[in-house]
Chains A and B, each alone.
Chain A
Amino acid sequence: MSDLNMLNQVRAFIDSEADMLDFEDYQGWLDLWTETGTYIVPIDPQESDFANSLNYAYDKKEMRELRVARLNSGEAVSTQTTDKTVRQMGRFRILDEGAAFVTVRCSMYLSECRHGNLKTYPADLTYTLKKTDNGFQIEEKVIRLQNANAYLSSIGYIL
């Protein structure tokens, strides 16, 4: 069944992205993106006009690179007090598939340990993945945190 095959492929791709982020392979992560790709963490889960609304993050290529440079620089004290993130990706569903792109939604359960306090951030993620000869590239990643509409605290890593 070709659907299951596609589902397995996107799962493997998204799992390996999660591994890169949890184990701080940020350069590897940057390489996953298309030139025009956008990384978005909205405030309102219903929002779809991200460019014209306030988000927690709305990163084109340059901002993603700056974000990674900030994490790697050692200059930002808030990025150093989260010891480790662990994320569990699950509940994958292909929403749409065309010749060039596949849109997939999944859940993420991320836990962080900051100043010794364990905290979790459940989220719904939607990926638009571009099909390439050797796998996928990320065209858009939207992270809808379950508590984004209430309040958050410092997030010193990449979701």
Chain B
Amino acid sequence: MTDLINIKNVAADYDSLIMEDKVHTSIYSNPEIFEEELDKVFNNTWVWVGHESEIPDVGSYKTAMIGRHSVIVSRDRKKNIHVLLNRCRHRAATVCEGKRGKTKSFMCPYHGWGYSLDGALRAIPKPEEYEGVINKEDYPLISLRFETYQGLIFATFKEDIEPLEDFLGGAKKWIDLFVKQGGGYPLKVLGDHRFRFPGNWKIQLENTTDAYHFPIVHKSFVSSVDDQTAEIFDFLDGEGHVEDLGNGHSVMVMIPELVDLEKDLDAPIPERFQALAEELAAEGHSDLEVRRMVRAVGGSGFNLNLFPNVACSMAFFRVLAPVSVEETEIHHVAIGGEGAPAAFNQMRLRLHEHFQGPMGFGTPDDAEAWERVQKGSKAGKDEWILVNRGMGNLKESPDGNVSGAVCSETGMRSAYQYYKKMMTA
């Protein structure tokens, strides 16, 4: 008699895969770990689904992903926001395939069930056969719990989760600073670059507070800007730092002078924004307004990483969506000022195009590195990814957080310790 050998993997032991100073290489490529992450991380916390400016009017909508769940963020007739599961209650077809736009209702293309902007089921074609079978009131699109902070919309599948503001905690201060880059105008999404790379989502999660790679990977970007700007981007020897903000969030301050964009408004106007300043002045904006816009136009001097899927990264939102264990989609969301002068928003757009996206001078080089991490991580049998840089040189920040050098791996350690907490909960 032959016994069948049980070849199913034993459940991953996250306590031993995630150490303080290193993480096991298998977390990038084990499909079972990926499935567990979708459930334990993405279905279990606040996930960024958009910015309020993306759905400005009655009837505006956008689609987003929470892990593998397709959702619609909509604004109804009373201007209330809804986050709806993009899944017909009949046989599950998606009811909306647009990125963003305006609509009066969501109509399922399969059998024609029609839903209003708040998700209510309004119309069923040929309803006779449902008489005594179902009531329309019982089959709205499923609404998810959501909350907003400073216009950022986060949704969750976890009904009993702590309030968003508690989850953001120490990150709120940095979000408040980040939204100042509208230059005196409310932040507004101007568009996004969508981009995939063949690698695990956590590789990009690590990247947001990884200053260490900047001068190496982004050498060609730095070569493409003027000397004064290149000097600003030479921040590894500067006064910056990386701080653990709790709940997996972290901030990397690269350019301390640009942390608070409402300070130092009398600083000299940088060479690369001189023409912009002149143009704005010629349009009749006051000296103070011009200075506020010029100071804000290049973005904030820090990258804020909000676990698990969004970064407020210098001048844009960087959103990640896990596609499979070895594929990740990134949205580089360009932002500007609502109602700001065209010249200001155009400069923001051109700066975004210069660095971000599949044809930018920065992103493709990041992606090359990430792709190689994924590839290289399969070499060897039992190897580790180091996240221990700067561990011997930690301080306490003025806010009482653990803080390390700007090119330390403090942010990654923060994210991985929170990840471990979620995966072992």
Identify the A interface with B (CB < 8 A): 41, 43, 51-58, 63, 66-67, 69-70, 73, 75-79, 81, 115, 149-156, 159
Given A69-B223, A154-B363, A154-B364, also A53-B194 (CB < 8 A)? no
Hey, which chain B residues are within 8 Å of A79, CB to CB?
Answer: 220, 364
Q: Are B196's CB and A70's CB within 8 A?
A: no
Hey, which chain B residues are within 8 Å of A67, CB to CB?
Answer: 361
Residue B329 interfacial (CB < 8 Å): yes
CB nearest to B330 among chain A residues: A151
Q: Are A153's CB and B365's CB within 8 A?
A: no
Distance in Å: Cβ of A63 to nearest Cβ of chain B:
7
Q: Are A156's CB and B364's CB within 8 A?
A: yes
Q: Are A77's CB and B217's CB within 8 A?
A: yes
Q: Are A53's CB and B223's CB within 8 A?
A: no
Q: Which of B193, B334, B367 is packed against the most chain A CB atoms within 10 Å?
A: B193
Hey, which chain B residues are within 8 Å of A78, CB to CB?
Answer: 364-365, 367-368
5 pairs of A and B residues whose beta carbons are closest in the complex = A54-B191, A76-B220, A78-B364, A154-B364, A151-B194
Q: State A76–B362 Cα separation when bound (angstroms).
A: 9
CB nearest to A58 among chain B residues: B353
Residue B190 interfacial (CB < 8 Å): yes
Interface residues of B in 42-69 (CB under 8 A from A): none
Distance in Å: Cβ of A37 to nearest Cβ of chain B:
16
Q: State A94–B234 Cα separation when bound (angstroms).
A: 49
Given A54-B352, A77-B365, A150-B194, also A155-B223 (CB < 8 A)? no
- Picked from B217, B353, B364, B367, the residue with its CB within 8 Å of the CB of A54 is B353
Q: Are A54's CB and B220's CB within 8 A?
A: no
Q: State A125–B220 Cα separation when bound (angstroms).
A: 28
Residue B232 interfacial (CB < 8 Å): no
CB nearest to A81 among chain B residues: B368
Distance in Å: Cβ of B328 to nearest Cβ of chain A:
11
**Contact mask B357-401 → A, CB, 8 Å, 1/0?**
111010111011101000000000000000000000000000000
Hey, which chain B residues are within 8 Å of A151, CB to CB?
Answer: 194-196, 329
30 A-B pairs with CB atoms under 8 Å apart are: A53-B190, A53-B191, A54-B191, A54-B192, A54-B349, A54-B352, A57-B359, A58-B353, A63-B354, A66-B224, A69-B223, A70-B220, A70-B223, A70-B224, A73-B220, A75-B219, A78-B364, A78-B368, A149-B99, A150-B194, A151-B194, A151-B195, A152-B194, A152-B195, A152-B358, A153-B196, A153-B358, A153-B367, A154-B368, A155-B359
Hey, which chain B residues are within 8 Å of A51, CB to CB?
Answer: 346
Hey, which chain B residues are within 8 Å of A56, CB to CB?
Answer: 193, 353, 357-359
Distance in Å: Cβ of A86 to nearest Cβ of chain B:
19
Q: Are B353's CB and A155's CB within 8 A?
A: no
Number of A-B contacts (CB under 8 A): 95
Distance in Å: Cβ of B97 to nearest Cβ of chain A:
11
- Picked from B197, B223, B224, B368, the residue with its CB within 8 Å of the CB of A77 is B368
Besides A52-B346, A77-B368, A151-B195, 12 more A-B contacts (Cβ < 8 Å) are A41-B359, A52-B349, A54-B352, A63-B354, A69-B223, A76-B361, A77-B369, A78-B368, A115-B371, A152-B358, A154-B358, A159-B359
Q: State A133–B224 Cα separation when bound (angstroms).
A: 34
CB nearest to B190 among chain A residues: A54
Distance in Å: Cβ of B320 to nearest Cβ of chain A:
12
Residue B77 interfacial (CB < 8 Å): no
CB nearest to A153 among chain B residues: B196
Q: State A158–B363 Cα separation when bound (angstroms).
A: 15
- Picked from B190, B197, B223, the residue with its CB within 8 Å of the CB of A153 is B197
Residue B350 interfacial (CB < 8 Å): yes
Hey, which chain B residues are within 8 Å of A53, CB to CB?
Answer: 190-191, 349
Distance in Å: Cβ of A69 to nearest Cβ of chain B:
7
Distance in Å: Cβ of B379 to nearest Cβ of chain A:
16
Q: State A75–B342 Cα separation when bound (angstroms).
A: 34
Q: State A79–B359 Cα separation when bound (angstroms).
A: 10
Hey, which chain B residues are within 8 Å of A154, CB to CB?
Answer: 195, 197, 358, 363-364, 367-368
Residue B345 interfacial (CB < 8 Å): yes
Distance in Å: Cβ of A118 to nearest Cβ of chain B:
14
CB nearest to B363 among chain A residues: A154
Q: State A58–B224 Cα separation when bound (angstroms).
A: 15
Q: Are B220's CB and A75's CB within 8 A?
A: yes
Q: Which of B195, B220, B334 is packed against the most chain A CB atoms within 10 Å?
A: B220
Hey, which chain A residues are within 8 Å of B194, CB to CB?
Answer: 150-152
